[in-house]
Amino acid sequence: MSQVSVRDAPIALYIDADACPVKEEAYKVAFRHSLKVFVVANTPIAVPRHPLVERVTVPSGPDAADDFIAGRAIRGDVVVTTDVPLAARCVAAGADVIAPNGRPFTRDCIGMALATRNLMEDLRSAGAVTGGPKPFGPRDRSAFLSALDLAIVRLKRAGFAAGTPG
């Protein structure tokens, strides 16, 4: 397991942006808390022109965005992703990780999430019809907003600072 590291920098929000349906919501929460946002994708994505938002376009490759995020996210940061292996890497580094539907990935649940993901991948590759995720809806969006705000408030109470990195 990776060693959890800490730094003297404010809370950062990393968004695995290629297929993230809650970018706008994440920006609103980040702006309210004065957090730096890194929007990471393999292709250029439109982001607000705001000093707290940085668009990061990584080279094409299967794990380039994941590697960028996992290589930087540490204890005191928040990561938004649906990618379970990326979530596992970030949880191991000590970051708070939230799916766009508001579900947190934690040390207690990441093992089961990885096992479920691997099982479903095996079933799909064997030709089994597994359906897919339920459609993303307003309830998911609301749960995400609550989970993100809660994670940031909890980090602030734990002594992590908001504000832009020096």
Q: What residues form DSSP beta bridges with 36?
A: 12
Strands 36-41, 96-98: pairing is unpaired
Check: CB of residue 110 under 8 Å from CB of residue 88: yes
Q: Residue ranges per domain, the chain?
A: 12-157
What is residue 163's predicted lDDT score, i.e. its pLDDT?
Answer: 66
- ∠ CA 105-20-164, rounded to 5°: 80
pLDDT of residue 53: 97
- Alpha-carbon torsion (130, 136, 139, 145), positive or negative: positive
H helices within 6-161, ranges in order?
23-33, 64-70, 84-92, 110-125, 138-157
| Spatial CB neighbours of 116, under 8 Å, sequence gap ≥ 6 | none
Structure confidence at residue 127 (pLDDT): 72
**Using only C-alpha atoms, what is the Rg of the chain?**
16
Indicate the fold that domain 12-157 takes in CATH: Rossmann fold (3.40.50)
The series of mean pLDDT values per 10 residues for the chain, 166 residues long, is 53 94 96 96 94 95 92 96 92 95 85 64 68 81 96 94 61
